Structure 1
């Protein structure tokens, strides 16, 4: 009986200590600077590398095609394009969120993004974008001037892609042109020019590859906002059959 009483008392003491440890310990609030850094990290989607791979893979394909017969792809170029893909993918996400802020607020999947939730404002996002693009330019300037010109041209589809979701059911096509620009850039970085008989088939194949996977992805937000996409058009066509 004494043993059971001791065990009972020990259990009560353990529960008391366990409870008081969590009840009385004050919660540590993250500092404003750490919250801000976390918001920037989320804005650039650095924790989700899938988009970076989708941007990087077409670059590797063209770098491999441009390699001399019997030689492996240039490791230095593969590394350079890898870093550039991380930077430009994050810059593209920033641009997309700046354009789509009011739409992201209406979708459950995107309403917690930094701009949509209010944890970052547009001037802060613009400053972050400037840093991203400046760092990307440093990477781009390591290439030949032909490739530098192609890299600067890539900003046109990067900036305008989000706008096409408002005016056409085919934004995936524009996204394909954007994400696979590395086909041209990778080949020219090795040879100093683009051989169109080689790059064009690869580029078009990669564009349709992008259209396929992004149409599947777009089914998650069908009819959630006023944004247009290929998935909505296909669903309307199927409903009429």
Structure 2
């Protein structure tokens, strides 16, 4: 008589399958981790890359290269957010602005954050492999800068220099990918981007200054102290001066100058926003830098398209 026992191999058949709701929740946590809901960082990384692509391509960069850089910007900014939150996992819970980030709340584990960083970096590297080998070699520096920057705020009051280098490294990469060389003007544009990072990230750090002082985080907002507005203003003037010289050297005309003039007006507006050093207004000044970068880019595009 046949046995009526259930074969051991079928014992696990009744186990529930993956819970779609749980996976949706986890993906949402990853979405928040890489801050796709707050694209300001992506824009601040993208504008210098686009400036460089248009200047290197004399107004006509190859569209496939532009697409690779735009996708790469999104991926590397997202990777940067993941490794930044891993580096700050013991601090974010003590800062009002960051205490709801996924690592601070425990919604994402440190190991998951590192995994997200590695996966996104590898995908970005795969994109760069579509370009020439010299651009690929330069991309390794970008990954290293992205990895190092989040830890610098423990050792120096100017971590923004490392942020600016990470955000600006797309400039030599863009020139190499489009023009096959990195001229002096590209390095001047890189320096201008470093200065810009000092501007907007000081405004950003002014939001958290009181919390950072309590927990021992270093920043330019703390370093500059009561001279923060003056320092930001001088840096804004220096950056605009560099952009002016770069544009004139590239033969740019009235449309580009108009873009710089509009950007200068935005710089004045940012100074007005931070006049009382109120956290909310300082954060608005930081966000306004997106329009600053856009103004420079639009002026550049129009100058090549209309000005000739």
Task: Compute the TM-score of the two structures, normalised by the length of structure 2.
Answer: 0.64
Superposed, which structure 2 residues align to 1:154-233 within 5 Å? 154-195=142-183, 197-224=184-211, 225-233=215-223
Provide the rounded CA distance (Å) in 2 between the counterparts of 1:168 and 1:153.
Answer: 20
Structure 1 residue 112 corresponds to structure 2 residue 97: no
| Map of 2:25 onto structure 1 | 35
Runs of 4+ in 1 over 6 A off after TM superposition: none
How far is the alpha carbon of 1:223 from its aligned partner?
2.7
How far is the alpha carbon of 1:236 from its aligned partner?
5.9
Structure 1: tracts of 5 or more residues without a match = 1-29
How far is the alpha carbon of 1:237 from its aligned partner?
6.0
> Secondary structure, in 3 states, of the residue corresponding to 1:154?
helix
Q: Verify the 8 A CA contact 2:61 2:178 in the aligned structure 1.
A: no
How far is the alpha carbon of 1:126 from its aligned partner?
2.1
Provide the rounded CA distance (Å) in 1 between the counterparts of 2:49 and 2:187.
Answer: 13
Q: 147, 154, 160: which is aligned to 2:135? A: 147
Structure 2: tracts of 5 or more residues without a match = 1-19, 229-308
How far is the alpha carbon of 1:184 from its aligned partner?
0.6
Q: What is the RMSD computed on CA atoms of the aligned residues?
A: 1.5
Larger radius of gyration: 1
Aligned length: 206
How far is the alpha carbon of 1:77 from its aligned partner?
1.5
Provide the rounded CA distance (Å) in 1 between the counterparts of 2:31 and 2:207.
Answer: 24
Superposed, which structure 2 residues align to 1:69-88 within 5 Å? 71-88=59-76
- Measured against aligned partners, the alpha-carbon deviations of 1:80-123 in whole angstroms (never above 9, x if no partner) come to 11110000000000010001101101111111111111001112
> Secondary structure, in 3 states, of the residue corresponding to 2:60?
coil
> Secondary structure, in 3 states, of the residue corresponding to 1:173?
helix
**Higher RCO structure (Cα 8 Å, ≥6 apart):** 1
> Secondary structure, in 3 states, of the residue corresponding to 2:27?
helix
Task: Compute the TM-score of the two structures, normalised by the length of structure 1.
Answer: 0.81
Provide the rounded CA distance (Å) in 2 between the counterparts of 1:133 and 1:59.
Answer: 18
| Map of 1:53 onto structure 2 | 43
